[in-house]
Structure 1
Amino acid sequence: MDKENFDEEFKKLWNETPASHSESEKEASWEKFHSKTFAEKKKKTKPWRYYAAAAVLLFVLIGTGLYFNTKPQLENVVLAENVIENTTQKIKYVVLPDNSKVELSPNSKITYSNNFALNRKIEIIGEAYFKVTKDKKHPFQVFCNETTTTVLGTSFIVKESDKKEVTVELYEGSVQMNVKGKDQKWILKPGEKFTYGNELASVAEFSRFIDFDNEKLSVLSTYIEVNYGYKVILPKENLDQKITIRINKKEDLKTIVQLISEMYNLNFEINEDLKQITFQ
């Protein structure tokens, strides 16, 4: 794509208001941009300004909640059973019968029924991050202590403290909160968290993004290693290069890796056995 057409597509997407578009329209908009911008990439030939513009656009799209989803991130997927308990000190990755994803924290447990596809109800003890497959006919409900989180399709964290206080943090979509014995309902928006304890409920904002503002690429590599468990190896000439980007704290790892690849014109190789990502 030449610069004139690139700028035209960039301006068109920049002026869109993500909140007013449906999920299908958002996805179609991104696919159109991605196919026109990156489909015919030639290694080591594109001017850096094109990558800089793409990086800025991705910063804007991610910052407004309009960012692309890939296939399941690099994870150890296990077959979901009716009762799943994580007795290890690492996050356990689970795929439910409806293809919803769960990141089950250490010392946590989830329980669900045999007919989960028709009765999408889960009980949780501890903490888990849910990325729910959309199904308008069968709402997804998570029960924790006296609270109920009801969703159609979204991603959120439910966690219970030692003092039986329940917190729900919403990353995408919308959820409805109910408390046993109370008529009031709470509707959460992305970036809001619901807290219930000692018979008191509250809603407050929380930071669902992490910002890298003119940071060295090596800093982002360290973030990946700490939060995803994959060691990142970069060419020496790229270690001190700067990056400015906003990332959803629960972003798929593969999305981040592909973004680095596009921005810095690098190939990458993932070694699952070593839990290592090598750029070259």
Structure 2
Amino acid sequence: MNIFNILTKFINSSLNQEETRVLEQIKKGNGNNSRLFSIVKDYFSYKAVDLSAADKERVFEKIKLNTGNFTYTDHKPFLKKRITKLNLATYAAVASVALLISIGLWKYVTDNQGELNILIEAPLAQTREVVLPDSSKVWLNGGASLRYGKNYLKDRKVSLTGEAFFDVRKYNKATFRVLVNEFNVEVLGTTFNIKAYKNQHSEVKLYTGKVNFEVPSLNKKITLKPMEEVTYDPLTKEIQVSSFEKDEYDWRSGKYKFTDKPLKEIIAILNQNYSVTILLSEEQLGESMFSGAIGKDEPLADVLDKICISTGLNKTIEGDSITLY
């Protein structure tokens, strides 16, 4: 029975009863068995990027190519070609990193001090979810990039360019820091959003927990509470703190989520997003309430159907104008 087939099914959660029994024997078996299981398991549980099943298969093929032919028997070691633990780990790492680089998800880069860093980028018009080594999660908006060092667990520090949403987990009471252009954000465990594009106003929105916003050059440090945001102008160095209401649009899912939203406000959003003119036959209809989710790229006809069904209205279309009545 091929060990790689079993490990692949384990990663993809598709083991049958017999394969599960074999896997347990592999995990408890001789040193070679347990080492290989541990190495492969570690590489795929350390989800710096989320690989598809097809990509995982490609990684396994590369590992298999570089580590020899592995087979499993109940009583004999499955490692036919002797390779040291160090070499096996090195081959697996090279295979994994080579794949990640080839599909454009993960790059190794060096900073000004020559330190090796991991760089993860989200393509334009796409979002990417990243799971850091401490299980913290980061969602990168299109065109954003995140960088962190190989010693991340000792120094929980990341650098961000663009926009990202953070769900930071507590880890050994270690502080988590985000470095963005001229300012830093420091937390222990919390959820917040940072938008920081070059030569534009930057903003930090705090949803849960507590964060410290710091501009070292100004010797300025501000502590934010939940549902507070800070904006920073890199040109004027002006800092403003204000409260905000929960965002209705979640760029991570590409959906608007409305709860008892007046129809007139929804129509204003639709007119802007779809470049159309939606009118109400009577002004008081604008006070009708709508609750539901609307995808940003959802066809306008489907959105209007949702609204009409929810509010009991009808629609007429004349040229570029749509009237709800």
Question: Whose helix fraction is larger, Structure 1's or Structure 2's?
Answer: 2
* TM-score of the pair, normalised by structure 2: 0.43
Structure number with higher relative contact order (C-alpha < 8 Å, ≥ 6 residues apart)? 1
Q: Which has the larger radius of gyration?
A: 2
Q: TM (normalized to structure 1)?
A: 0.50
